[in-house]
Amino acid sequence: MRLGFELVMMPLLAFVIGLLMVLLLRRIGARLQRRVGPPFLQPLYDVVKLYAKRTQVSHGLIHEIGIVMAVGGYVATETLLPVPGMNGLADKGGVITLAYMMMVPSLGLALGVGQCANPNGSIGIARALTAMLAYDIPFMLVIFGAAWVYGTTDLSEIIALQQHGAWGVERMPLLALAGLMTLPALMGKQPFEIYVAPAEIATGPMVEMGGKFLGGLFVMQAFQLYTLGVLYATLFLGGGENWPLFLVKIFAVVSIPMTIAWLYPRYRTEDMLSAMWRWPLLTALLGIAMVMI
Amino acid sequence: MNDRVQSPGERVTRTNPLAHVFDELSRFCRSRSLFILHYCTGCGAIELPPAMTSRFDMERLGIQPMVTPRQADILLVTGYVSVKTLKRILLTYEQMAAPKYVIGICSCTVNGGMYWQSYATAKVLKAYLPVDLYIAGCMPRPEAVITGMRALMDDIAAGRAESWKRYYTHYDHYLGNQQALFGENWQTPTDVLAEARHYGLLGERSEGEHTALLERHQQPLEPLTMRLRAPAGGEEKA
Ligand code: SF4
């Protein structure tokens, strides 16, 4: 009963907080450009409007399943992420399952875009999967290192360990740094958003998406920001003792890459690969060496 | 590809007692979230960057640029429309998802403006597709653009901006004007009448002599063939 309640509540909360993070992203961008920025409920208006469009152009079954996978993958991910007062499936899943779950949306998107048969979409997906190759290696190393230090892959246990001792960021500063460096790529923000590139390939994977399909992707983005913020806070910032502190932590985590994002143009694919496989990867390897010795 | 338009037509009887609440909500959200597709045809486009950036900031009204017709709500035609451009505008317009709105910026879209005597421009935009709003001026300042946008937002929220339906109910009229300009072989990939039927908007003025002409000249659409050019010396493969 209690578990069922949590399984419903966790994605719902994630959705609401995720929309707020999208708002934060757009407000930060606006402030950096000395604009006012969108009103408070703007992300919600966008999603509702997209779902309320009269024309919904579907390119076939796989297109629809792809979007369901993209959103569903994140809904499943949220149930594996402990938040204050709710553990969901965190103790059964662990961080490895979580890392796998986080790949499902990208693969779903690839499937869905494939059926749209738009060359821009295919280029976008090819780039997105290359980007995944680029960031997943340092990301996996960071997760591996953290799990090694805590001696467990259970996220709720990781939080408990940090709340009775030192935070992860004190015990493994280099790994925390590497994680922070990988975050912009995980979020698909500048300088690593070559697969969206609106002026070049017309938003890549999103090119054929309209109406509820684009709405689904907006929801997915909200979930994505939330997931990354919570995962980072859980691994390195002691997770959430209570809701206010937890919210402060996750919003602080996501606002760092977002602030950096608006200051950069974008890297080409090969530059992204070499950037990802050089600095975050080296930092992560050094970090692992430090904690193992 | 075999696109399928999914949303239920208006013929469906509504049983949900909250339907009106949802209608109100979706109208409100539509008016507060407008994705624009610029069709920057003429000089008027130059007033859009200031309207979007720090000085006038359209995003505070929920208006933001999008890049493909599938994602957009508003088609912004910013200036004189040459005959060649008009074909692209129509292709774009027909691909957009309803409800969709068209704004003509600049006097040139209203009546040809200073290109009135040109042989190459389509003078009156609203003869070829339904226009929700004109923002006149040569060129209109960002204040005027934003005032126009606000007027459109009010119209949408009040349910008055329904011109996209007009394209279906008066298709014969629009098609006639298009044929007069492009010749009688003119056709687009979209089956407008089928869509009209789907939305339940097929009226007595949807079909007529011009749609009959279209039917006579219509070629079935074929997928583009992709040709790979083998390296020098090889044969060309289809
Ligand atoms: S109205 Fe004036 S500014 Fe606008 S397109 Fe025509 S000539 Fe250019």
Compute the distance between CA of residue A82 and CA of residue A98 in angstroms, rounded to an integer: 11
**Are residues A67 and A108 in contact, defined by beta-carbon separation less than 8 angstroms?**
yes
> Across the strands, what pairs with B77?
B39, B104
Q: Summarize pLDDT for A24-56 with one digit per residue, the tens.
A: 988 988 888 888 888 888 999 999 999 888 888
Compute the distance between CA of residue A7 and CA of residue A4 in angstroms, rounded to an integer: 5
Q: Summarize pLDDT for A118-160 with one digit per residue, the tens.
A: 888 888 888 888 888 888 889 888 888 888 888 888 888 888 7
Please state the domain extents for chain B: 16-161, 163-218
Distance from CA of B187 to the nearest CA of A (A): 21
Ligand 1, atom 6, lies closest to the CA of B108
The alpha carbon of B212 and the centre of ligand 1 are apart by a number of angstroms equal to 36
Report yes or no: B147 at the A interface, CB cutoff 8 Å: no
Compute the distance between CA of residue B161 and CA of residue B65 in angstroms, rounded to an integer: 20
Q: Is B45 in the pocket of ligand 1 (CB under 6 A)?
A: no
What is the CATH code for B16-161? 3.40.50.12280
Q: Does position B2 have pLDDT exceeding 70, yes or no?
A: no
Average pLDDT over chain B reads 82
The answer for B 149-188 residues in CB contact with A (under 8 A) is: none
Task: Say which residues have a Cβ less than 8 Å from residue B12's Cβ, sequence separation at least 6.
Answer: none
Please state the domain extents for chain A: 2-292
Q: Do A211 and B53 touch (CB under 8 A)?
A: no
Looking at residue B182, its pLDDT comes to 86
Q: Summarize pLDDT for B196-212 with one digit per residue, the tens.
A: 888 888 888 888 888 88
Q: Does position A83 have pLDDT exceeding 50, yes or no?
A: yes
Whole-structure pTM value: 0.85
Tally of CA atoms within 13 A in the half-sphere of B223 that contains its CB:
7
